[in-house]
C-alpha cells in the first residue's frame, strides 16, 4: 500500500473540503508528504504525519506552525498561495509506515529537494545524508577525535556553501547558542557529516546583528563569533577526525554540542 497518492487541496470560504475519514486514516497510518506551490509547481516543504495533518498544514493552521526560527519562510509561502486564491497542492509520497521508516523517507526527500523551507535537516542526515562515495569512505575510515581541549562542535551541514560562504563564515554565524557556555570553550570545531573540517579560536561572541556582522542578515536571538583559524598544531590534532559516537545523539536536530576536554 505504499503507492503515491496525488491530491489537490480545495478551499471554500477558508474551510478545508478534503479530509480523511477515520477509516482511511487508520489505513494510512504514518505518511510522508510534500507541499507544493501551484503557481510554479515547486515543492517548498517536506513533512510527515498522521490522520489529517497534511490538510491542516496546507491550510496554514497555526497550531502546526510551531515557533522554530525561520518558520516564517514556510508560513509566508502558504499565506501567499492562499491569498492569491489558490490551494496548496500536495503529494502523499508513502503511507502505511511506522515512525522510523517515515523519518527515513522524509529525510531522503529533504535531501533530494533543495531550497525547501524545512528548518531542520532530515533524520540522521548529518551522518547518513547525501554523500559522494569518496565522502562515505572518508567518514568511515577516519580516526575518532580525542578531545583534549574544551570545544564547541558546530554542525555546518546546512550553512557551508550557503550564499557562497566559506567554512569560517559558515561556522561563525548565526546560532542559537549560550554565549556564556561557548566562551568557556578553547576552540570551535566545524563539523560536516560527522567529520571535523577545521578548528577556530574565538575572539568574542556577539549578537547576530548587521551592525556586528556587516554583510550578514540580522537574526534575532542568535549569536555569531569573530575569530580566526586555530594554531596549526591544534588544526592537525582535530582536522579530518571523526566525531565519536559518544558525542553524537542519533537523530538530534541541534547543531551545537559542548564538549569538555579530558
Tens-place pLDDT, residues 28-60: 889 999 888 888 888 888 888 888 888 887 776
Comparison of pLDDT for 122 and 148, the residue scoring more: 148
In a domain, 10, yes or no: yes
Q: Helix H segments across the chain?
A: 22-28, 53-58, 71-83, 99-112, 125-128, 133-141, 167-172, 179-182, 232-238
Of 71, 93, 123, the one marking the end of a domain is: 123
Tell me the per-residue pLDDT of 218-259, one tens digit each, with 9 for 90 and over: 888 899 999 999 999 999 999 988 888 777 655 455 788 999
Q: In whole numbers, what is the pLDDT of the chain averaged over residues?
A: 78
Of 68, 100, 123, the one marking the end of a domain is: 123
Number of domains the chain contains = 2
Provide the CATH number for the domain around residue 80.
Answer: 3.40.1440
In a domain, 194, yes or no: yes
Residues 98 and 196 in one domain: no
Query: What's the order of all strands across the beta sheet hosting 151-155?
Result: 223-229, 195-207, 187-192, 151-155, 256-259
pLDDT of residue 9: 38
Residues 114 and 153 in one domain: no
pTM summary value: 0.54
Q: Which domain holds residue 237?
A: 133-259
Amino acid at each position: 500500500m505504499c503507492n503515491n497518492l496525488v491530491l489537490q487541496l480545495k478551499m471554500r470560504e477558508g474551510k478545508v473540503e478534503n479530509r480523511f475519514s477515520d477509516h482511511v486514516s487508520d489505513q494510512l497510518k504514518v505518511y510522508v508528504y510534500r507541499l507544493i506551490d501551484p503557481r510554479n509547481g515547486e515543492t517548498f516543504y517536506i513533512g510527515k504525519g498522521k490522520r489529517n495533518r497534511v490538510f491542516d498544514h496546507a491550510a496554514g493552521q497555526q497550531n502546526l506552525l510551531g515557533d522554530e526560527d525561520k518558520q516564517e519562510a514556510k508560513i509566508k509561502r502558504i499565506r501567499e498561495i492562499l491569498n492569491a486564491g489558490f490551494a496548496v497542492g500536495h503529494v502523499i509520497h508513502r503511507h502505511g509506515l511506522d515512525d522510523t521508516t517515515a523519518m527515513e523517507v522524509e529525510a531522503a526527500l529533504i535531501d533530494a529537494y533543495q531550497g525547501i523551507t524545512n528548518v531542520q535537516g532530515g533524520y540522521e542526515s548529518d551522518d547518513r545524508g547525501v554523500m559522494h562515495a569518496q565522502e562515505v569512505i572518508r567518514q568511515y575510515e577516519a580516526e575518532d577525535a580525542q578531545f583534549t581541549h574544551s570545544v564547541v562542535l558546530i554542525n555546518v551541514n546546512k550553512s557551508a556553501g550557503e550564499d557562497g560562504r566559506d567554512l569560517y563564515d559558515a561556522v561563525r554565524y548565526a546560532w542559537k547558542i549560550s554565549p556564556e557556555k561557548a566562551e568557556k570553550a578553547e576552540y570551535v570545531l566545524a563539523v560536516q557529516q560527522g567529520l571535523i573540517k577545521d578548528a577556530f579560536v574565538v575572539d568574542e561572541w556577539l549578537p547576530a546583528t548587521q551592525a556586528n556582522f556587516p554583510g550578514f542578515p540580522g537574526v534575532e536571538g542568535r549569536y555569531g563569533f569573530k575569530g580566526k583559524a586555530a594554531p596549526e598544531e591544534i588544526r592537525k590534532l582535530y582536522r579530518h577526525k571523526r566525531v565519536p559516537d559518544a558525542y553524537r545523539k542519533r537523530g538530534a536536530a541541534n547543531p551545537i554540542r559542548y564538549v569538555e576536554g579530558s
